[in-house]
Amino acid sequence: MTLSLLSLNYKTTPVELREKLAISAAHLPEIIQEARQGADLEELMILSTCNRVEYYLVDNPEGNGTARLAEWLNHRFLVEPGELDHSALFLDNQSALTHLFRVACALESMVVGEPQILGQLKDAFRLACEAGTVGAELTGLMPKVFRTAKRVRTETGISRFAVSVSHVAADLAARIFDTLEDKTVLVIGAGEMAELALSNLRRKGINRLLITNRTFANGVALAEKFEGEAVRYESMPEHLAQADIVISSTGARGYVIDQEMVRQAVKTRRGNPMFFIDIAVPRNIDPKVNDLADAYLYDIDDLQEAADSNRKEREREAHAAQEIITEEIARYGQWKSAGQVTPLVTALREHFTTTGKAELEKTLSRLRHLNDQDAEQIRKLVHSMVNKLLHLPSTRLKVMSDEPNAGLYSDIIRQMFDLSPLAEAAPEGESGTGKKSGPAPDKKIVNFPPGRKS
């Protein structure tokens, strides 16, 4: 079995398509089971974040799993014909494996080294385990991936230059104005991303924070933590005109701010501009807001320029991180090959032992004149001969497991001694739990894209 990948990420796929395919944690167990069954896959794990939706899969022996999955996605999410072909990244074998390790180590993130992705990947694996869509392959692989990510964060300096998307959003808010000390920011949402944005805004000296959330108690808790004001969600339109900057990060599937709401807010502000930073996927703010005078909208893809701060430093550390990844992938390959050979060696020994024992007992039944002591000596002799004859082949098989043709050698041995194929299993100690089943820019607004305004 080998790993394959279907990826829709910020490098290849616009946010308009990513938000169609985004999956909330609440719906992921249902979707992952449906996708695995619909595409006829052996194993499946789905990672869905604001910057990527990725399907890591182990295909059945017939192959073409990514093609079947793409077809299922087209039907399930009503994607326009050809959209996936132009935007999706399809990888197999070593390329898919390398991508997974790089994602876990935050080398594929918009901000290289950002800390959130590893936790998101761990959650994705946990949810797949709970849904019963992982087996020996992913169960054996993912602990190695997590260990590698830990090594990268421990042994390189990549995290020194790492910031989250929420950090970038707050940084953008600070750079839009020369100072935030006399500005008001409205944050919509009370999740992890919103909390990180609030934390960064406070450090940048924001004067007034308004916080709103569908669950008012959660908004109140954040307001108390960051010395802000909690606003009831249903009264948000009335407070919108007070905000110089609006940062939105909720899990809503539809827009929580539409063009008419902003039109009224801009009218009330009498020419004072409003800036909207939408870091949610699916997006929370209607893109038509950007058509209004004095309203400027930035979505998750517009944050790339701000995310490029400290690029040179991160690239240097990313090179060191890639060396660790290459080393760990090689170790994983050796571990996996050894694990595949172990059942073959066991089967070979059982075959010889069973055959030798059967022939021994048949011979002893004709040598009734031997006493028990002599018969036992003959049994020990046969047992010793079988072990000595198999010692060299067993050792050679384990050594050859690192070679490119290891699978071919194994098949030859199975056919030569008529050994029945063994079901793949995770190597000892890691059995499966699932079923098959440069310098920063000046603080001037001209340094940032005007919210896609032409």
Helix 93-104 × helix 311-364 angle, to 10°: 130
Q: What angle do CA 10, 171, 119 make, to 5 degrees?
A: 50
Looking only at the bridges linking them, the beta strands covering 52-58 and 3-9 are antiparallel
Q: Of 5, 50, 170, 295, which is the active-site residue?
A: 50
Q: Measure the CA–CA gap between 273 and 176, rounded to whole angstroms.
A: 11
Contact 59, 1 (CB under 8 A): yes
50 a catalytic residue: yes
Q: Measure the CA–CA gap between 445 and 451, rounded to whole angstroms.
A: 11
Which residues pair with residue 247 across a beta bridge?
Answer: 187, 277
Quickly count: other Cβ atoms within 10 Å of residue 134's Cβ. 31
Determine which helix (DSSP H) or strand (DSSP E) holds 55, and give its type and residue range: strand 52-58
Q: Measure the CA–CA gap between 332 and 138, rounded to whole angstroms.
A: 12
3-state helix, strand, coil in the chain (%, to 5): 55, 10, 30
The gap from C-alpha 324 to its chain's centroid, in whole angstroms, comes to 18
Cα–Cα distances (Å) from 403 to 200, 270, 333, 426, in that order, read 51, 73, 10, 20
Q: Measure the CA–CA gap between 405 and 393, rounded to whole angstroms.
A: 16
Q: Measure the CA–CA gap between 344 and 341, rounded to whole angstroms.
A: 5
Within 8 A by CB and 6+ apart from 88, the residues are 6, 7, 8, 12, 13, 70
Q: Could you list the active site residues?
A: 50
